Amino acid sequence: MSAGRFGIHGGQYIPETLMVAVTELEEAYEHYKADPEFQKELTALFNEYAGRPSLLYYAERMTNDLGGAKIYLKREDLNHTGAHKINNVLGQALLAKKMGKTRLIAETGAGQHGVATATAAALFGMECVVYMGEEDTIRQALNVYRMRLLGAEVIPVTTGTATLKDAVSAAMREWTRRISDTHYCLGSVMGPHPFPTMVRDFQAVISREIKEQMLEREGKLPDAVLACVGGGSNAIGAFYHFIEDKQVRLIGCEAAGRGIDTFETAATVNTGKLGIFHGMKSYFCQDEYGQIAPVYSISAGLDYPGVGPEHAWLHDIGRAEYVPVTDDEAVNAFEYLAKTEGIIPAIESAHAVAQAIKMAPDMKDKIMVINISGRGDKDCAAIARYRGEDLHE
Amino acid sequence: MSKIAQAFAGGKAFIPFITCGDPSLETTEELVRRMAAAGADLIELGIPFSDPTAEGPVIQAANARALSGGVTTDKIFDMVERLRGDVSIPLVFMTYANVVFSYGKERFADRAKAVGMDGVILPDVPFEEKEEFADTFQSRGMDFISLIAPTSEYRIARIAENAKGFLYIVSSLGVTGERKEITTDIAGMVSLVREHTKIPCAVGFGISTPEQAEQMARVSDGAIVGSAIVRMVEELGVQAPEQVEAYVRAMKDAVRRA
Nearest to A16 among B60, B102, B126 (CB): B126
Residues A130, A224 within the same domain: no
CA distance A269 to A168: 20
- Given a cut of 70, whether residue A393 has pLDDT beyond it is no
CA distance B13 to B6: 10
Residues A175, A222 within the same domain: no
- Does A19 contact B148 at a Cβ distance shorter than 8 Å? no
Specify the amino acid at residue B208: S
* Residues A111 and A140 sit within 8 Å (Cβ to Cβ): yes
Indicate the residue among A199, A228, A261 that finishes a domain. A199
DSSP codes, B103-162: H-HHHHHHHHHHHT--EEE-TT--GGGTHHHHHHHHTTT-EE-EEE-TT-GGGHHHHHHT
pLDDT for res A300: 86
**CB burial readout B52-81, b (16+ within 10 A) else e:** bbbbbebbbbbbbbbbeeebbbeebbebbe
Question: Can you list the domains of chain B with their CATH numbers?
Answer: 11-144+212-257 (3.20.20.70)
Residues A210, A194 within the same domain: no
Residues A334, A230 within the same domain: yes
pLDDT for res A141: 86
pLDDT for res B34: 98
* Residues A184 and A18 sit within 8 Å (Cβ to Cβ): no
How confident is the model over A282-306, as a mean pLDDT? Answer: 95
Residues A361, A326 within the same domain: yes
- Does A176 contact B54 at a Cβ distance shorter than 8 Å? yes
pLDDT for res A136: 87
Residues A157, A272 within the same domain: no
pLDDT for res A260: 95
Chain A residue numbers with beta carbons less than 8 Å from the beta carbon of B101 are 274-276, 290
For A294, A363, B173, the CA distances from A111, given in Å and listed in that order, are 19, 35, 28
Q: Is A302 within a domain?
A: yes
- Does A275 contact B123 at a Cβ distance shorter than 8 Å? no
Chain B residue numbers with beta carbons less than 8 Å from the beta carbon of A286 are 98, 102
pLDDT for res B6: 86
Q: Is A391 within a domain?
A: no
Kindly report the CATH number assigned to the domain that includes residue A187: 3.40.50.1100
pLDDT for res A368: 98
Q: Which of A85, A101, A281, A378 is catalytic?
A: A85
pTM for the predicted model, two decimal places: 0.97
CA distance B17 to B71: 17
For chain A, what is the mean pLDDT? 96
CA distance B9 to A364: 77
Indicate the residue among A176, A199, A222 that finishes a domain. A199
Per DSSP, A49 falls in state I
pLDDT for res A1: 59
* Residues B80 and B91 sit within 8 Å (Cβ to Cβ): yes
If one counts the domains in chain A, the total is 2
- Does A176 contact B125 at a Cβ distance shorter than 8 Å? no
DSSP codes, A281-350: EEEE-B-TT-PBPP---S-TTT--SB--HHHHHHHHTTSEEEEEEEHHHHHHHHHHHHHHHS--B-HHHH
Mutate to test the interface with B, among A5, A13, A165, A174 (most CBs of B within 10 A): A13
Chain B residue numbers with beta carbons less than 8 Å from the beta carbon of A289 are 72-74, 99, 102-103
Residues A247, A150 within the same domain: no
How confident is the model over A205-214, as a mean pLDDT? Answer: 98
Residues A331, A315 within the same domain: yes
- Given a cut of 80, whether residue A2 has pLDDT beyond it is no
Residues A29, A167 within the same domain: yes
Task: Classify residue B210 by burial, with Cβ atoms within 10 Å: 0-12, 13-18, 19+.
Answer: middle
**Distance of alpha carbon B65 from its chain centroid, rounded?**
19
- Given a cut of 90, whether residue A391 has pLDDT beyond it is no
* Residues A76 and A346 sit within 8 Å (Cβ to Cβ): no
Residue-wise pLDDT tens digits, A102-155: 999 999 988 999 999 999 999 999 999 999 999 889 878 889 999 999 999 999
Residue A390: other Cβ atoms inside 10 A:
7
Chain B residue numbers with beta carbons less than 8 Å from the beta carbon of A176 are 54, 173-175
Residue-wise pLDDT tens digits, A182-199: 999 999 999 999 999 999
* Residues B247 and B16 sit within 8 Å (Cβ to Cβ): no
- Given a cut of 70, whether residue A13 has pLDDT beyond it is yes
Residue B180: other Cβ atoms inside 10 A:
8
Residue-wise pLDDT tens digits, A297-325: 999 889 999 999 999 999 999 999 999 99
Residues A258, A368 within the same domain: yes
Residue A24 is a catalytic residue: no
pLDDT for res A390: 84
Which of the four pLDDT bands, split at 50, 70 and 90, describes residue A347? very high
For chain B, what is the mean pLDDT? 96
How confident is the model over B39-68, as a mean pLDDT? Answer: 97
Indicate the residue among A183, A199, A215 that finishes a domain. A199
Residue-wise pLDDT tens digits, B7-38: 999 899 999 999 999 999 999 999 999 999 99
- Does A15 contact B126 at a Cβ distance shorter than 8 Å? yes
- Given a cut of 80, whether residue B141 has pLDDT beyond it is yes
Q: Is A393 within a domain?
A: no
Q: Which residue of B has its CA nearest to A18?
A: B151
* Pairing between β-strand A5-6 and β-strand A9-13 as defined by DSSP bridges: antiparallel
Q: Is A189 within a domain?
A: yes
Percent of chain A with pLDDT over 70: 99
What are the start-end ranges of the H helices in chain A?
A: 16-33, 36-45, 60-66, 85-98, 112-124, 134-139, 141-149, 164-177, 195-203, 205-218, 233-239, 268-271, 309-316, 327-341, 347-359, 380-386
- Given a cut of 80, whether residue B81 has pLDDT beyond it is yes
Residue-wise pLDDT tens digits, B178-189: 888 888 999 999
Q: Is A184 within a domain?
A: yes
Residues A180, A290 within the same domain: no
CA distance A157 to B189: 34
Residue A16 is a catalytic residue: no
Domain span at A9: 5-46+85-199
- Does A288 contact B102 at a Cβ distance shorter than 8 Å? yes
pLDDT for res B5: 86
Which of the four pLDDT bands, split at 50, 70 and 90, describes residue B42? very high
Residues A127, A29 within the same domain: yes
Q: Is A16 within a domain?
A: yes
Residue A373 is a catalytic residue: yes
CA distance B13 to A97: 45
